[in-house]
Amino acid sequence: MSQKLLKNIDLVITFNDREETFEHCDILIEEAAIRDIGSNLNAAGDAEIIDCNGLTALPGFVNTHHHLYQTLFRGIEEVQEQPLFPWLIGLYEFWKNITPEAVYYGALVGFSELLRTGCTLTSDHHYVFPKGQPTTLIDEQIKAAREIGIRFHATRGSMSLGRDMGGLPPMEVVQTEEAILLDSERLINRYHDNGPYSMQRIALAPCSPFSVSRQLMLDSKDLARKKGVMLHTHLAETQDEERFCLERYGRRPFELMEDLEWVGDDVWFAHGIYLNDGEIDRLQGSGIAHCPSSNMKLSSGICKTTEIIRAGGKLSIAVDGSASNDGSNMWEEVRRAYLLNHLKYGTDGLTAYEILKAATRGGADVLGRDDTGRLSAGKAADIVLFNLNGIEYSGCHDPLVSLVCLGNSSLVSMTIVNGKIVVKNGKLTTIDSDEAAKNAHNTAVEIINRQRNSTKNN
Ligand SMILES: [Zn+2]
């Protein structure tokens, strides 16, 4: 049994069932899980002892919504200042050229930043499967997740409603519904691990009401419930989407989900900005992935975060795709969630504790996990440690406020995933970041140039 003993941690914020925090204590890790938290713990003779004096520990952040491939499409001048629909229409022209290699490197780039900013479990929503490319793109992401050592919930996204059929995306990036469902089943059979401390799960994720048919939503739901996997989609992100749903289906976006029985503990939605109060009360355990940077960048609106929490809803925090953020920095996202909440609610705003809880335990709950997102014996050893003793934190009387509002806490001292140290002193221990950065950038430049040249020549 391999053990690690994190000794003399200044402060441990657990988000456990009793909402405990501990000062000056140890965490004993055995294999993938936390064995004990307490003072003066003993470890086996061959245990690795790590001095954590001066450090604060939290459960690792859980990112519930991303589009990792977009890390290669940041700062594209053709769309940089556009709102969602024109932004998507412009970017589909580049995305239709993505290759398996691009998906692999895009994932490595996103995972790297997530891990270095304290995220230990991330979801991704990959929905672009261009014609003429292998469809094994999610396999590439899973390969990257295994190499770098992040806990990963891939979602098999899909787009079937192309422009010729009244949808938004061009026909080059939509697939037949038969192909989508076959590949969804293949991925679940091959990769989905429902056990405790699972490092990879699959969920099904038709992209949005304006890029798939009603039938695909129904078929995906049936397949997911038959196989016991979760469902995910974009919902109530913009007023354009609301208009689209009212015109095409005569229903508001969330009403459409209710009609389709896409509501409950096994469903989570990205954004949920344009949910009205009655809809927030009818979420029935469906989770929300709140993406503050993306919502600001695309001028989408502000999620009703306080109402969701006060109504007992499941709120989590997510970076969203890198082309609309443009980073994958969980610390920044936590801070922006706090600030955006306070812009909207003033003194009724969520506290630093509530925001951190949404980013950790809240995210785990949204993804259907009770084995991570909190620190206690028997839970996964997904732990992030950071140093609050720098001058940028001096004079702050509340470590939680320090974490959320102060200084440059974007790089953590240590990120531990499933009992393994994946980041140490801000650096990844598992991959050569310089090499990955070079390959990712070259792959991105090639795709962008190819598209720009073909537009010029037409
Ligand atoms: Zn998204």
| pLDDT over 70 at 255, yes or no | yes
C-alpha 199 to ligand 1 mean position (Å): 22
| 39 within some domain | yes
- The number of distinct structural domains making up the chain is 2
Q: CA 108, 298, 243 angle in degrees (round to 5)?
A: 120
C-alpha 125 to ligand 1 mean position (Å): 7
The pTM score is 0.96
According to DSSP, the β-strands at 230-235 and 200-206 are parallel
Q: What is the DSSP letter of 377?
A: T
Residues 288 and 416 placed together within one structural domain of the fold:
no
Residues 360 and 263 placed together within one structural domain of the fold:
yes
C-alpha 294 to ligand 1 mean position (Å): 8
C-alpha 15 to ligand 1 mean position (Å): 27
274-298 pLDDT, tens per residue?
999 999 999 999 999 999 999 999 8
C-alpha 114 to ligand 1 mean position (Å): 16
3-12 pLDDT, tens per residue?
999 999 999 9
Domain that holds residue 167: 67-366
Residues 6+ apart with CB under 8 A from 315: 287, 288, 290, 305, 308, 309, 358, 362, 366
Domain boundary among 321, 343, 366: 366
Q: Indicate which CATH number applies to the domain containing 21.
A: 2.30.40.10
C-alpha 5 to ligand 1 mean position (Å): 38
C-alpha 413 to ligand 1 mean position (Å): 29
C-alpha 321 to ligand 1 mean position (Å): 6
Residues 23 and 129 placed together within one structural domain of the fold:
no
Residues 274 and 404 placed together within one structural domain of the fold:
no
Domain boundary among 366, 386, 405: 366
Q: How many C-beta neighbours within 10 Å does residue 421 have?
A: 18
CA dist 325 and 332 (Å) reads 10
Q: What one-character-per-residue DSSP string does 142-174 give?
A: HHHHHHHT-EEEEEEEE----GGGT-SS-GGG-
Q: Which two tokens stand for residue 363?
A: 């995210």
C-alpha 204 to ligand 1 mean position (Å): 14
Residues 331 and 202 placed together within one structural domain of the fold:
yes
CA dist 272 and 269 (Å) reads 6
Residues 340 and 380 placed together within one structural domain of the fold:
no
CA dist 453 and 458 (Å) reads 9
C-alpha 285 to ligand 1 mean position (Å): 20
| 183 within some domain | yes
C-alpha 272 to ligand 1 mean position (Å): 11
Q: Indicate which CATH number applies to the domain containing 105.
A: 3.20.20.140
Residues 208 and 343 placed together within one structural domain of the fold:
yes
| 444 within some domain | no
C-alpha 273 to ligand 1 mean position (Å): 13
| 397 within some domain | yes
Residues 355 and 290 placed together within one structural domain of the fold:
yes
| 299 within some domain | yes
CA dist 426 and 133 (Å) reads 36
| 122 within some domain | yes
Share of residues in the chain with pLDDT > 90 (%): 84
406 versus 375: the higher-pLDDT residue is 375
| pLDDT over 90 at 168, yes or no | no
| pLDDT over 70 at 409, yes or no | no
Contact 98, 128 (CB under 8 A): yes
Of the listed ranges 160-164, 258-262, 416-420, the least confidently predicted one is: 160-164
According to DSSP, the β-strands at 21-30 and 3-13 are antiparallel
62-72 pLDDT, tens per residue?
999 999 999 99
C-alpha 234 to ligand 1 mean position (Å): 6
Predicted pLDDT of residue 28: 98
Residues 38 and 173 placed together within one structural domain of the fold:
no
According to DSSP, the β-strands at 230-235 and 267-271 are parallel
- Residue positions counted in the chain: 458
Residues 6+ apart with CB under 8 A from 177: 158, 160, 213, 215, 216, 219
| 457 within some domain | no
Residues 73 and 51 placed together within one structural domain of the fold:
no
Residues 121 and 235 placed together within one structural domain of the fold:
yes
Predicted pLDDT of residue 408: 64
| pLDDT over 90 at 457, yes or no | no
C-alpha 380 to ligand 1 mean position (Å): 27
| 124 within some domain | yes
106-134 pLDDT, tens per residue?
999 999 999 999 999 999 999 999 999 99
Of the listed ranges 77-86, 100-109, 137-146, the least confidently predicted one is: 77-86
Please report, for residues 163, 183, 230, 284, 368, the alpha-carbon distance to residue 264 in angstroms, rounded to integers and kept in the order given. 31, 24, 10, 5, 11
Q: What is the mean pLDDT of the chain?
A: 95
Please report, for residues 138, 208, 216, 328, the alpha-carbon distance to residue 158 in angstroms, rounded to integers and kept in the order given. 12, 9, 9, 22
C-alpha 208 to ligand 1 mean position (Å): 9
Residues 354 and 393 placed together within one structural domain of the fold:
no
